[in-house]
Amino acid sequence: MFQQNIPFKEITTAVAGRKKYKRAEFNICISDVDHIFARHLIEFYLRMCGCTKFGWLDDNKKFLPASNLLTNALCLFRDVLIWPFQLLRYKMLLNRLEQTPFKKYLPFNKSQVVINYLRTDHWFNLRSGGSVGHVSGVINAMAKAGKLKTIFSSDNLFEVQKTELLEKISPRYNVGSSIPELPQMNYNFQLIDKLKNEERFKGSAIYQRYSQYNVTGVYLKYHFAIPLILEFNGSEVWAIKNWGSGKILHFNFLMRCEKINLMHADLIVVVSQNLKDSLMTEGVDASKILVNPNGVSLQKFNEQVNGNVIREKYSLQNHKVIGFIGTFGEWHGVVEMAKAIVMFFDAHPDEISKVKFLLIGDGNLLESVRGIIYQSSYRDTVIFTGKVNQNESPQYLAACDILLSPHIGNPDGSKFFGSPTKLFEYMAMRKPIIASNLEQIGDILTHNQSAFLVPPGDVAALANAYFHLLKNETLQQTLAQGAYNKVIENYTWDMHVNKILEAGGGEL
């Protein structure tokens, strides 16, 4: 392998913008070398920039050498040539499903029903983040209830216990991956060909986690005449408009795909009332939408977890530790959190030797957060752990004295529709929480009873909350116990799955 590792998101600026990289030997770091979007386009571009020795390296340390320039050019030509034919095939599939009259296959017999779980996301080697906890939490709870028949997944699933029930159907990226979104579209046909004669679907229900461009669940619903339960955690159309560039190549197909899923699902599971309200404004029948907040595994997250190893690793033994865990996304309020850290130490310099902030995770806004901290005088008071595997996160949370959930509102002014998985994990750890008084967060938690709530985006209020809670140990204990009581009574994954089974077996 080569001498330098460069993250995929930095590759074009790191190589094309700096001459020192053009003749260097380097690896492009990516999650999975078997599923590289636009591989030949990127390799062609880098070779035209003068790069000669480079390859791909994934999270499992698997190495893939780059192809030569001729191979890149031929593969690009092939992908462009087949592009219109692949789009036509996908369009015909959408047309067929749009013209299929809706038929409802609920309610089912709760005592007899078994579920085939369908995971079609094109995210690979995921080992951290809220989606990992959500997927494993739901699947493990279904298995525990004796309702899980098979898991059909695009990748291995971290922390899923019944691995013998998992059948991996890996998306093909060898043809068409140079064209944006084409691998996701083509995956429908790969799944349909594989599953349309699958005996295990007969007499079962389908539970699909919605993903971009995928309508496999709808196709299989009508093919086998069985109910489709759609897990819908948010609109991909909305996310691209508000959190992405706002421009994708096949946006019209994405909108059609999303609508087909929503209109033909028998039951739609959403994590918040605001998400239900937004679907209703789009014409989705309210009677088939179940509001079901996220949950937590009490076997994994609990106050018995020992955080001493983490405290020793980062020399935290003699400090009060305020922690945050997450993917540093646009909605997490991490920039405001960082500004509040600087404001807190500016106002209370005596706390510099007593308090540390432990920021756990990685993501789009991590560098912005680092910049705010490193430009201040408090660089040594903040520890950035980087990405942490989901199975290690309880130890990191246990190492903290106070936990943060400083979420902010949506950029377009619409109501926040999320249900942060971290929130329920915090509650289960029986730790005091500082959180934004934002939509579902403020509905679940009560100020000065189960959390210290602050206005979302209010940096001064967040900084004051750090100090106020640090100095009030009695309030810390009250908040920790109040949050714990709420989570064990209402928000475990077992309860989450039972609500789905209840809704599928009768009236909502």
- Domain spans, the chain: 4-67, 115-295+496-504, 308-490
Burial class (CB in 10 A: 0-12, 13-18, 19+), 383: middle
For residue 207, which phi and psi values (nearest 5 degrees)? -120, 110
229 Cα distance to chain centroid:
19
Read out DSSP for 132-151?
HHHHHHHHHHHHHTT-EEEE
Contacts of 482 by beta carbon, 8 Å cutoff, 6+ apart: 446, 449, 450, 451
Q: Which tokens belong to 14?
A: 């790191």
CA-wise closest residue to 290 among 275, 268, 274 = 268
CB 453 within 8 A of CB 447: yes
CB 433 within 8 A of CB 451: yes
pLDDT for res 152: 98
CB 230 within 8 A of CB 208: yes
Separation CA 489–CA 508 (nearest Å): 21
Q: What is the pLDDT along the chain (508 residues), one digit of tens a residue?
A: 677 888 887 776 666 556 666 677 889 999 999 999 999 999 999 988 888 889 999 989 999 999 999 999 999 999 999 999 999 999 999 999 999 999 999 999 999 999 999 999 999 999 988 899 999 999 999 999 999 999 999 999 999 999 999 999 999 999 999 999 999 999 999 999 999 999 999 999 999 999 999 999 999 999 999 999 999 999 999 888 887 755 788 999 999 999 999 999 999 999 999 999 999 999 999 999 999 999 999 999 999 999 999 999 999 999 999 999 998 988 899 999 999 999 999 999 999 999 999 999 998 899 999 999 999 999 999 999 999 999 999 999 999 999 999 999 988 888 899 999 999 999 999 999 999 999 999 999 999 999 999 999 999 999 999 999 999 999 999 999 999 999 999 999 999 999 999 999 975 4
For residue 283, which phi and psi values (nearest 5 degrees)? 95, 10
Helix (H) or strand (E) holding 65: strand 63-65
Q: Three-state SS for 487?
A: helix
Which residues, listed in sequence order, are joined to residue 267 by a DSSP beta bridge?
229
Query: Model pTM?
Result: 0.94
pLDDT for res 508: 45
- Look at strands 63-65 and 115-119 and give their pairing: unpaired
Please report, to the nearest 10 degrees, the dihedral formed by the alpha carbons of residues 206, 212, 216, 221 taken in order.
50
pLDDT for res 2: 72
391: DSSP letter: G
CATH of 115-295+496-504, one of 3.40.50.2000, 3.40.190.80, 3.40.50.10440, 1.10.3720.10: 3.40.50.2000
Output the CA torsion sign for 257, 285, 413, 447: negative
- The class of domain 308-490 in CATH terms is alpha beta
